[in-house]
Structure formats: structure tokens, C-alpha cells
Amino acid sequence: MGSEHATLRKLRRYEDPGAGIFEEFLDSRLGPGRALALLSGPLADARATGWVLCPTIGPEHGNLRRLEALVARGLAASGFPTLRIRPDADPLHREIDLARRLEEVEAAVALLRVETGAERVGVAGTLFGGTLAALAADRLGLAELALVQPATRGRQYARELLRREAVAQLLAGDEEAPPAEGPMHDLSTSGLAWIRGLSLSQEAFDAISAVKLAEDLKAFGGRSLLVEISPGGAVSSGVQKLADRLAELGGDVVVEPVADPLHAPLGEYYYRDAGLLRIDTRLELDRKVADTISAWALGAGAAAASQVA
């Protein structure tokens, strides 16, 4: 039995000597939905700061997993132990639920500290994952924050989820469904809508809609990176307002605009047909974002070390 257990442990851990990192699924589950925890870390000595990557709460999470993997591996290669959350481990908890996701992030922060001995913890996320990261950093008093295209207005994000699902249903060609029906109709009449296999209750919709990120942050005074992606490399008013709020709270804020044609919105399916081939339109962008976060984290880590010294 002991040898079988050792074999199973080996199967859940992968080492890449060339990159100098390992990846391992941990025994512990996170939050009420029992999400999986995937730890990436350096094979050599780890830095004192660790990172937790917060997944977004909607169906776009699947299209952001590669970006999360690149960020985690980039941070690990730079010496930062990094924990990813896989929230779909339990099919009974496939819900769009702000409170559940925040519980998972809090559990992930605690687990990272136990597993790695990290003295400082940063959180990072994309889209509403960035929103979760900021809320968690503020609530838990964390050290660093890296956000990629964060959703600064919860109501806009929640309504966009419903709108895209309505468009998907129309494209599916359900001619028997009356035009007035759709996810927004379902939510208003039954209190529950389904979005690509995820349930969204009226209570969850209201909780997400209540988020006004810049106004909700009350205490976070650490270092933060805001990555804004647009075709022209412009910074939106929402992200600028968030940056101003973080600076007002006493934080060290870096806003990093990234120009990209965005053939598909961030979080959407990013392959494009080109004749008989299917082209990946986001690989270069994902790599650029991951490199940007790793480079900033290294700089922030050096600044923290100099302050301690």
C-alpha cells in the first residue's frame, strides 16, 4: 500500500529541470466547492514571496487556463512558489458565485503559506479573477497584487455574461424558443439562469453587480501591477480610476498598457480559421502578459528585500 501511494504521489508531480520548476497537485481541497490546488515552484531555493492565481468566476475561465499556466510557470522559474486554483473539481458546485470563489482564494493563501513557508503573499488574476484578487488582497492584508484587465464594475460584467449567453443561444438556432426568452428572462422569472453549464442565481447576480472595485478597496497599501490590453494600448477610465484608488491608499502602483489586435475578446475562444488551418491568435499575447508579470514581480521582490535590509 505504501508503494502504491508513493507511485500515485509521483504521478501528480512533474519536474522540468530545464526550466528549473516543478508542478504538483496538493492533497488539500479549497473552500466549500473543494477546488483543486496546483502548486508550481522552483526546484532550487524559493523566494520569500509566494503567489496565488485567482481564476475568474465565469465560463471564460477555460479560455484563460493557458495564460494562468504561463504566469504560474514564469513566476516559479523566477523563484516564486505559485498556487493555482482549479474550481471545477466538484461538478455539484459549478456555480457562478462570488462568495465561494473568495473562500477558495482565502483557503489558497493559507495553504500556500503552510506548504511553502511564504512570508509574503501576492495574488493575481485576469478579468473577474483580477477583481477577486483585489478584493482578497484588501480583505486579507496581502503584500502584492497583479491584475490583468480587471472587471472594475461588477454589474457590467454580470450583464455581459448574460448578453453573451443570449447571443450564443441565438446562434445555436433554437427556433422554438420565443424571442423574449433567454438567460435574462430566466433570471428574472425563475431566479436562476444557466450560462455555458454554470448556474447563476439572482442572489449571485446581485452580489456580483454590487461590486464597484475602486470604491470597495479600503485598506490595500502594497505593490500593484495593472495590465491593460487594448488594440491601441490605451488605458481605460475604469483601470485608471482603480490605479488612482490604489495610490490613494498608499500603494506603489504600476500601470502597464499592452497593445494587441485582440482578434477575440480576452476570455473568449481565441482560435481563428484560416483556410484548412486553425490559428492561435493569443499565444504571443499570453506570453507577453506572463513575462510582464514575472519581470514586475522580480522588481517588486528586489525592492522589498532592500527595504528589509
Instruction: Collect all residues with Cβ–Cβ distance below 8 Å to 253 and sequence separation of at least 6.
Output: 223, 224, 226, 243, 246, 247
- Over the stretch 110-122, which tens digit does the pLDDT of each residue have? 999 999 999 999 9
> For 192-250, what is each residue's pLDDT tens digit?
999 988 999 999 999 999 999 999 999 999 999 999 999 999 999 999 999 999 999 99
Say if CB 218 and CB 185 are below 8 A apart.
no
Asked if 5 and 50 touch (Cβ cutoff 8 Å), the reply is no
pLDDT in tens, 12-48: 899 999 999 999 999 899 988 889 999 999 999 999 9
Tell the residue number behind the cell numbers 486579507, with chain if given: 140
**Ramachandran angles phi, psi of 134, nearest 5°:** -65, -45
Between CA 61 and CA 155 the distance in angstroms is 18
Q: Which of 200, 214, 103 is nearest to 160 (CA)?
A: 200
pLDDT, position 1: 44
- Name the amino acid, one letter, at 141: G
Whether the pLDDT of residue 306 is over 50: the answer is: no
Q: Was domain 2-153+212-304 assigned CATH 3.40.50.1820?
A: yes
Q: Where in the sequence of the chain do the CATH 3.40.50.1820 domains occur? A: 2-153+212-304
**Amino acid making up residue 16:** D
Specify the residue for cell string 475561465: 61
46 burial (CB, 10 Å; 0-12 / 13-18 / 19+) is middle
Nearest Cα residue to 257 out of 284, 226, 223: 226
Identify which of 45, 32, 40, 52 has the alpha carbon closest to the alpha carbon of residue 14: 40
Give the containing element (helix H, strand E) for 280: strand 277-280
